[in-house]
Structure 1
Amino acid sequence: MSTSPARPDFQGVRLAYDTVARDYATRMPDTHAEAPLDLAMVDAFAEAVRVGSGDDPLVLDAGCGAGRMGRYLADQGCQVVGLDLSPGMITMARRDHRDLLFAVGSLADLPFPGSRFAGVLLWYSTIHTPPAGQGRVFAEAARVLRPGGHLLVGFQAGHGTRDVAATYRRFGHEIVLERHLVTADRVAAWIEAAGLREVCRLVRRARGAERDDQAVMLATVR
């Protein structure tokens, strides 16, 4: 019997983001929605990648959506490859960021060889994966990282699930989409099991329209 982490089913997530892709790209074109504290963690990640990778600071933006975080990292000197489950999102990313590379694929089965990247960014891209499937996602991220590479993951911290459909209903989209809350300690355990070592974490209280605490964790290959 296999003991590998469960492979999650993302068909509903793909359909939801294909439906909202054009509006998402219009309303979230850049990092204006990020808190300064959150971006400080992204900055620390970008610096760690640049310092540790020599002349090949290649980063996988895994769950890249319409490419806004990939653009931010590229502007800081990283070489970025974006991957997203949603073909609609990838169409928007290619339209808006023609100088970056993007592909369609799943976080649970990354279409890249091992030890390929100096950094992997999971920026709120694990939130639609049920907790039972997140171990596999982190194992895949660890697999494609080089020795000494870095992982950065951002997520809503807590317990339970939230219905995301109501947010998009305000813009005329009828979709089915949930996000899953997990604690920073639980994510740290998955990261450790994947062979990575936590470097630091940020957990902050909700601000503005946010409903939940927000967490960002930086890790490196052990």
Structure 2
Amino acid sequence: MPDHAVAAAYDAVAELYTDVTRDQVATDLYGRALLTAFAEQVRGPVLDAGCGPGRITAHLRDLGLDIAGLDLSERLIEAARTEYQGIRFDLGDLSALPHPDGTLGGLVSWYSFIHVPPERLPAVFAEFARVLAPGGRLLLGFFAEAPGAQPAPFDHRVIRAYRWAPDRLAGLLGTAGLTATAWLVREPYPNERFRQAILLAERRRPDVSR
């Protein structure tokens, strides 16, 4: 799916999307727990890649991280800049991050890579690995499929997205040089349609034993 189509879809609903998602961190016990675990492990600057209106970025800032946000949607970036004026938010693409190699201590993709077609996701994960320092941490939030299942497209309320089996994602991450260290799958809350998942991973350190 072209990135401009995703950007246009979120631009069209930016105000509504910002309002609907405003309290999601406060009402998601499991999400907060994994965000806290991520924050406790990270050392160095962090990027929220696909930050939307900035709620996750702000929560992680409040947990003590040096974090900035990036998103395709110009209107969502405007909303984030308005609401969280002490944080940097930029326009950008998951597949071409504006950071030198190995300069980030952490990266978050919280329900943002879900719109990337499966055939393009390896390149996106390779880009995530490129910007992370050895030992850097990655946090993914996504809609869950059954173990071993193929990625499943579905009618996301904004634009088509994909559900992923955590073990399949872990395999893609491994190919990119990232090691999954933990994941959580939970049943949907009353207002949700699908099971939800959160995955933590680490950028592998070079093997210096040889």
| TM-score (ref. length: structure 1) | 0.85
| Cα pair 2:48 2:68 within 8 Å, conserved | yes
Q: Is 1:27 paired with 2:9?
A: no
**Residue type of the alignment partner of 2:184:** L
Match of 1:136 among 123, 141, 147: 123
1:39 aligns with 32
Q: Is 1:11 paired with 2:13?
A: no
Identity of aligned residues (%): 41
2:164 aligns with 182
Query: What CA distance in whole angstroms lies between the structure 1 residues aligned with 2:27 and 2:170?
Result: 22
Match of 1:208 among 186, 190, 197: 190
Aligned partner of residue 51 in structure 2, secondary structure: coil
**Residue type of the alignment partner of 2:33:** A
1:5 aligns with none
- Structure 2 regions of 5+ residues with no counterpart? 146-150, 205-210
| Cα pair 2:54 2:80 within 8 Å, conserved | yes
| Cα pair 1:150 1:220 within 8 Å, conserved | yes
| Cα pair 2:7 2:72 within 8 Å, conserved | yes
Per-residue Cα deviation, 1:16-64 (whole angstroms, up to 9, x for no partner)? 0111112222232243465211221111001001xxx2xxx31100000
Query: What CA distance in whole angstroms lies between the structure 2 residues aligned with 1:47 and 1:24?
Result: 29
Evaluate the alpha carbon distance shift between residue 58 and residue 182 of structure 1 in structure 2; reply closer, same or farther with a 3 A threshold.
same
2:59 aligns with 72
CA RMSD of the aligned region, Å?
A: 1.4
Evaluate the alpha carbon distance shift between residue 34 and residue 195 of structure 1 in structure 2; reply closer, same or farther with a 3 A threshold.
farther
Query: What CA distance in whole angstroms lies between the structure 2 residues aligned with 1:20 and 1:195?
Result: 36
- Structure 1 regions of 5+ residues with no counterpart? 1-7, 169-176
Q: Is 1:89 paired with 2:76?
A: yes
Greater relative contact order (Cα < 8 A, sep 6+): 1
Aligned partner of residue 202 in structure 2, secondary structure: strand
**Residue type of the alignment partner of 1:31:** Q
The alignment of Structure 1 onto Structure 2 pairs a total of residues equal to 199
| Cα pair 1:31 1:69 within 8 Å, conserved | no
| Cα pair 1:30 1:69 within 8 Å, conserved | no
Per-residue Cα deviation, 1:133-165 (whole angstroms, up to 9, x for no partner)? 111111111111011110000100114222124
1:221 aligns with 203
Per-residue Cα deviation, 1:3-23 (whole angstroms, up to 9, x for no partner)? xxxxx6212111001111122
| TM-score (ref. length: structure 2) | 0.90
| Cα pair 1:135 1:190 within 8 Å, conserved | yes
2:99 aligns with 112
Query: What CA distance in whole angstroms lies between the structure 1 residues aligned with 2:20 and 2:28?
Result: 16
Structure 1 residue 207: deviation in Å? 2.1
Aligned partner of residue 127 in structure 1, secondary structure: helix
